[in-house]
């Protein structure tokens, strides 16, 4: 079994085989993804996040600053010590000698944060592309609902014509024709509603790339295209590709760096000061040198070391908990995709053909006077309902497939799986 590691929604390219993709003014999923990647602010702002993280690395690499100072003593005094004659002026330069690898530890922490941004950006990208695929799928579903509504309207109009012929022939009362015309009106309302909802979904999709109008005629694809799915065991082996789990490797490095940074604080730094002092009473200059070492740094650093070690120790449990959560989500998504796909296939291969044959037979029987209008109309309603159920099942299957792709960080092309139709245990 071969898996193509591309964008999370690339498997939806199955739709692009539809004849719709050849018509001008159509929007493919690939084009929608390209527009979102180019214009969505959540992806654009990642560049600034990385710039800020790099600045933090540069800041962490800086050495302790130098401090210049001036100090005056005995100025002014009182009595015999009054006036500038007894003043002492000291000019000094001071800084800190960092020991224990503090600067290297700071750089390691900042570098780990910078590296962790890559997976966070990837996770954000996958979530966004999955949302693109869901809205694109909603648009395809809306378009297909319009087609179902138009087919239903066409069938209802056929009944009106047949009922009118029977009324003129005196074989049916005029109320039958009126009932059929009322059914046509309801079918038009359903079609208009489906068209309005589809336009709203198209605008919602275009909003992802900050477009206030849908500048395309329709989405390219067919939501009823059947597809195969890898087994649950094969998918669970891919969970480590999920960015949420891969982030734990970077998080471990970050927490290890924090432990080292906390440990480095147990080594005291040496504060030094050097300068010259002028004695106004003798007009002479003398050198001044001072060193200061804080006491008790090891004891003060221990709480931070223990806290950092505890966070590091807890990471493996966090990883295990996240893995369990993702696996449970994968089980649910796999079960949903298998059930919904099988339901859509059954409606397509078994239910719809039988209803189609029954409807044709009902039309012949109605024209021959062997069937009532209500029986024929009920069969038409059953056919429309079955097509809607097929669409709902297919959309549910594709939604679950998108979730599986997001969880595993993979994309699956149905043509690549010849033995991948196993159901989950």
pLDDT confidence of residue 271: 87
CA-based R_g, the chain, Å: 37
Nearest one of 230, 233, 249 to 1, comparing CA atoms: 230
The per-residue pLDDT of the chain, averaged, comes to 82
CA 125-128-132 angle, to 5 degrees, is 135
Strongest mean pLDDT among 11-15, 118-122, 337-341? 337-341
Nearest one of 92, 125, 65 to 288, comparing CA atoms: 92
* DSSP letters spanning 230-266: --HHHHHTTGGGSHHHHHHHHHHHHHHHHHHHHHHTT
| 71, β-bridge pairs | 90
Report the predicted TM-score, pTM, of the whole model to 2 decimal places. 0.75
Whether the per-residue pLDDT at 321 is higher than 70: the answer is yes
- Say which range, 30-39, 257-266, 349-358, 365-374, has the weakest mean pLDDT: 257-266
Higher-scoring residue by pLDDT: 78, 299: 299
Whether the per-residue pLDDT at 135 is higher than 70: the answer is yes
| CA torsion, ordered 54, 59, 62, 66, to nearest 10 deg | 160
Distance (Å, rounded) from C-alpha 330 to C-alpha 77? 82
- Say which range, 39-43, 208-212, 279-283, has the weakest mean pLDDT: 279-283
- 422 pLDDT tier (thresholds 50, 70, 90): very low
List, in order of start, the domains of the chain with CATH numbers: 10-416 (1.20.1600.10)
- 2 pLDDT tier (thresholds 50, 70, 90): very low
Distance (Å, rounded) from C-alpha 94 to C-alpha 96? 7
* Residue 76: cis peptide before it, omega within 30 degrees of 0: yes
Cα–Cα distance list, 29 to 129, 196, 398 (Å)? 10, 21, 14
pLDDT confidence of residue 395: 94
The answer to whether 377 and 183 are in contact (CB under 8 A) is yes
120 half-sphere exposure, CB direction, 13 A CA radius: 14
Higher-scoring residue by pLDDT: 23, 45: 45
pLDDT tens per residue, range 151-187: 999 999 999 999 898 888 888 888 989 999 999 999 9
Whether the per-residue pLDDT at 138 is higher than 70: the answer is yes
Give the number of other CB atoms < 10 A from CB of residue 370.
11
The answer to whether 408 and 238 are in contact (CB under 8 A) is yes
């Amino acid at each position: 079994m071969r898996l193509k590691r591309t964008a999370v929604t690339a498997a939806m390219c199955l739709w692009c085989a539809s004849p719709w993709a050849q018509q001008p003014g159509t929007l493919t999923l690939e084009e929608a993804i390209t527009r979102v990647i180019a214009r969505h602010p959540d992806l654009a702002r990642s560049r600034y996040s990385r710039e800020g993280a790099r600045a933090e690395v540069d800041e962490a690499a800086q050495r302790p600053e130098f401090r210049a100072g001036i100090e005056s003593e005995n100025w002014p005094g009182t009595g015999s010590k009054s006036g500038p004659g007894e003043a002492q002026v000291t000019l000094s330069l001071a800084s800190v000698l960092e020991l224990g690898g503090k600067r290297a530890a700071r750089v390691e922490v900042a570098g780990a944060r910078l590296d962790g941004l890559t997976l966070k950006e990837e996770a954000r990208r996958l979530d966004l592309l999955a949302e693109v695929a869901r809205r694109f799928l909603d648009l395809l579903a809306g378009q297909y609902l319009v087609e179902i509504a138009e087919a239903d309207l066409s069938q209802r109009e056929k009944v009106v014509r047949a009922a009118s012929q029977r009324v003129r022939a005196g074989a049916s009362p005029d109320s039958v024709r009126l009932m059929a015309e009322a059914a046509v009106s309801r079918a038009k309302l359903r079609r208009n509603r489906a068209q309005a909802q589809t336009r709203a979904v198209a605008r919602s999709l275009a909003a992802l790339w900050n477009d206030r109008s849908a500048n395309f005629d329709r989405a390219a694809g067919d939501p009823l295209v059947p597809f195969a799915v890898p087994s649950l065991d094969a998918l669970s082996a891919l969970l480590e590709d999920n960015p949420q789990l891969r982030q734990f490797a970077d998080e471990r490095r970050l927490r290890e760096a924090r432990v080292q940074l906390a440990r480095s604080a147990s080594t005291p730094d040496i504060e030094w000061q050097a300068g010259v002092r002028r004695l106004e009473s003798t007009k002479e200059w003398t050198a001044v040198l001072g060193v200061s070492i804080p006491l008790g740094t090891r004891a003060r650093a221990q709480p931070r070391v223990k806290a950092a070690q505890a966070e590091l120790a807890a990471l493996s449990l966090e990883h295990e908990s996240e893995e369990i959560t993702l696996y449970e989500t994968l089980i649910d998504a796999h079960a949903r995709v298998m059930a919904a796909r099988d339901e859509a296939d059954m409606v397509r291969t078994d239910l719809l053909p039988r209803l189609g044959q029954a409807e044709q037979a009902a039309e012949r029987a109605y024209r021959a006077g062997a069937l009532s209008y209500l029986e024929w109309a009920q069969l038409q309603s059953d056919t429309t309902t079955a097509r809607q159920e097929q669409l709902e099942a297919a959309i549910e299957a594709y939604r679950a497939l998108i979730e599986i792709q997001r969880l595993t960080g993979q994309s699956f092309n149905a043509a690549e799986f010849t033995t991948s139709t196993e159901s989950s245990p």
